[in-house]
Chain A
């Protein structure tokens, strides 16, 4: 059957089927309409397969070889073939330790990712997020989500730093990778990563992935003859975009105009960068005694703490203890958290978290509580300390 014949037949069939709605049948180029889905499912022959058939009939292209191109030189392959695999294939010789990694990271990476991989603004969070993959807001980091260390090495080496790709030496990439492992609590501070011990390191979520199973699981369920008439009793609107109103507007900054609390329900962009939009829980529990502007400031400062600490609804212990109710409480008093012995002893002696003690601790954690497990070096300014303290107070009312 010729293509044109089939198209005309389709046109007639289509006219018969949508008689009621049809207004204009000037368009002759109509594909065949099915009488029911089952028939079409059984007869998948489409105009396109006929195109292909026609193309084949008029002669497929030659298959070669054509003798085109030239042989790639070993030094050319070496220059471009930089990919690394989970089994270590492709890794160059080299080494780097956590200490050196911190130096490179602070200089080259922290501007976007934060000093502790906590992510600045919407830039990716690199640390923490353990046990959050079933949460409402999963935090997918190199520690909590990435399956293979080779992926970290490969990506840092091929595409980072953003805007100056492939500028790091192999040893620097080893060092940054070691530092990321350390910040995620996966290796000690004296760890050195090299091509020799690389394959010994496994990431916690390696087994968290499996092959696409839509074909077995979903396709049978979604391959069916659907209802066409009297399919439900009534229709109610259950959710509306207008409630959130995060649609960009060309003349009005919609989000700013309609209030800051849109952040609570924003879903993730395709690379997950927007997934971090945090719930503005501070306001829920705030009382007039608090300086709300300072609380807001403190929430921003707290991003530096979030890699290890949670606060607010549902907060639980991570690398560090959850911080609900910390202000006004003895040191080392959160239940089920293993503090350093110094921290616990100070608490037992009656030392309480006040604005003063918190300020002293946050300025230089290791000198105020000797032996604290907190690796954070401290906040730079009194303003930051005051703000984050106010923020913690908002969860301690």
Chain B
């Protein structure tokens, strides 16, 4: 089957180089028995010579050996690279936090570069006093810190009709998980004084898309944040610098970046991003609207098509991520035989509300084919469905909210492929 296998040229190369490395390792091991591992017995230049001084990189960057760890795009998805998307390299990450520079990007009018001194946040509409805040004003409100995942509603949207992209970066990479520092939106709304008939808010971006979404007041007063820091530092330009909305557990499109205005109203606005887009067309030709919550979901990040098994038989670490827009993930099941037998995975790291969770399953690989799947359970008791179960409810035209169970087929050589199974 390897001759007809075209889906993973990157991983194929990785596999080949990995195999070469493994081969070299075997050679080295043999040589080590004779004369010792040159990595140990020979004096290395980094041991003999001095390294960089402290100011070589005033803002530190990853090692030059990690340059393959980056966001990637799929050019054919969109008309141009401005109103477009790229993907987080989930298979290269561990733990639960996404580094700022690897958080996927989705812009509708490009990433705006905004001087914070020129940025204003206005609250108007059905409020007692319409207000304008400068960034300096915002920094004087009480702040909170929370870790939340942000998932694009279209994550895995290319897979509705079947397996299409080889790599969890492409199938599941429209997500990141970050610690935000921000002001509870409730405090800003209270400052303006919401009138009793104010039931909805309309956050609006300052970018060239002037992005808008309607959000019910209940959510606005519950856990939304107006955030200016991510993972301790200022928001990145592409994530809405200087200030963005955080709407925990709800689809990423609502987390308006470059936030410049919040209007309070008595009805939803039905704007473009909640009618033409981000509505879920079902098989009967009708569409669901306001599908805000992200259903529980998980994916095995390693092994996966971009991260094949290169070490051969024996002890193997399977790992992945799980999350739910409705709470925490108390349990993840994994299978290596396509769902005949399931095992509970081990969750390691903080289990936070509406945050990604890291799971592991360590096993002895016997070198045979693997059919890998993971299945998330969330704190409401919801269990991640199969893709076919989802299709029974939704058909294949809904684009958004595909949280079906992902399958990776790993062959005897350790190469992984995106498949669907019976």
User: Chain A interface (Cβ within 8 Å of chain B)?
Assistant: 14, 17-18, 21-24, 27, 29-34, 37-38, 40-41, 44, 46-49, 51-52, 61-66, 68-72, 76-77, 80-87, 112, 121-124, 133-134, 138, 140, 142, 145-148, 150-151, 154-155, 158-159, 162-163, 165-166, 208-214, 217-219, 221-224, 226-232, 234-242, 244-252, 254-255, 258, 265-275, 277
Contacts and interface: CB of A to CB of B under 8 A. Distances in A.
A48 B353 contact: yes
A381 B161 CA distance: 39
B9 A254 contact: yes
B27 interface: no
B33 interface: no
Contacts, number: 407
Given A162-B82, A229-B342, 20 more contacts: A18-B361, A34-B330, A40-B379, A44-B328, A52-B353, A61-B144, A68-B141, A68-B191, A72-B122, A81-B261, A122-B79, A134-B285, A230-B341, A242-B166, A242-B417, A246-B76, A250-B10, A267-B157, A267-B158, A270-B154
Top 4 A-B pairs ranked by shortest CB distance? A270-B154, A41-B381, A242-B7, A235-B338
Contact of B389 (A222, A227, A265): A222
B313 interface: no
Interface string B346-378: 111111110101000111000000010001010
Nearest to B331: A34
A322 B343 CA distance: 55
Contacts of B275: 146-148, 151, 209
Contacts of A121: 79
Contacts of B9: 247, 249, 251-252, 254
B208 A247 contact: no
**Which secondary structure dominates chain A's binding surface?**
loop
B284 A227 contact: no
Given A86-B270, A239-B162, A274-B77, A48 B339 contact: no
Nearest to A61: B142
A246 B164 contact: yes
B105 interface: no
Given A165-B208, A228-B341, A76 B131 contact: no
Contact of B163 (A22, A222, A235, A239): A239
Given A71-B129, A212-B290, A228-B341, A65 B212 contact: no
Nearest to A14: B346
A49 B8 contact: no
Contact of A273 (B79, B132, B385): B79
B77 A18 contact: no
A18 B361 CA distance: 8
Contact of B124 (A81, A145, A228): A81
A247 B382 contact: no
Interface in B172-226: 174, 184, 187, 190-191, 202, 204, 208-210, 212
A18 to B, nearest CB: 6
A80 B134 CA distance: 16
B277 A66 contact: no
Nearest to A84: B269
B235 interface: no
A30 B382 contact: no
Interface of B: 4-10, 72-79, 82-83, 85, 106, 108-109, 122-125, 129-134, 137, 140-144, 152-154, 157-167, 170, 174, 184, 187, 190-191, 202, 204, 208-210, 212, 260-261, 263, 265, 267, 269-272, 275-277, 279, 281, 283-293, 295, 305, 315, 317, 327-328, 330-331, 333, 337-353, 355, 357, 361-363, 371, 375, 377, 379-385, 389, 393, 396-397, 399-400, 409, 417-422
Most chain-A CB neighbours within 10 Å: which of B159, B167, B393?
B393
A230 B285 CA distance: 38
A336 B232 CA distance: 67
A46 B164 CA distance: 36
Contact of A270 (B82, B132, B174, B269): B174
A212 B288 contact: yes
A124 to B, nearest CB: 8
Nearest to B392: A221
From A31, A237, A251, name the one whose CB has the most chain B CB atoms within 10 angstroms.
A31
A21 B317 CA distance: 9
Contacts of B288: 209-214
B394 to A, nearest CB: 9
B85 A222 contact: no
A230 to B, nearest CB: 7
Contacts of B162: 239, 265
Nearest to A49: B353
Contacts of B397: 133, 138
Contacts of A249: 9-10
A17 B344 contact: yes
A273 B144 contact: no
B163 A151 contact: no
Contacts of A268: 157-158, 399
13 contacts: A14-B346, A33-B347, A68-B191, A80-B260, A150-B270, A221-B389, A223-B381, A226-B342, A235-B339, A241-B164, A245-B6, A267-B161, A271-B154
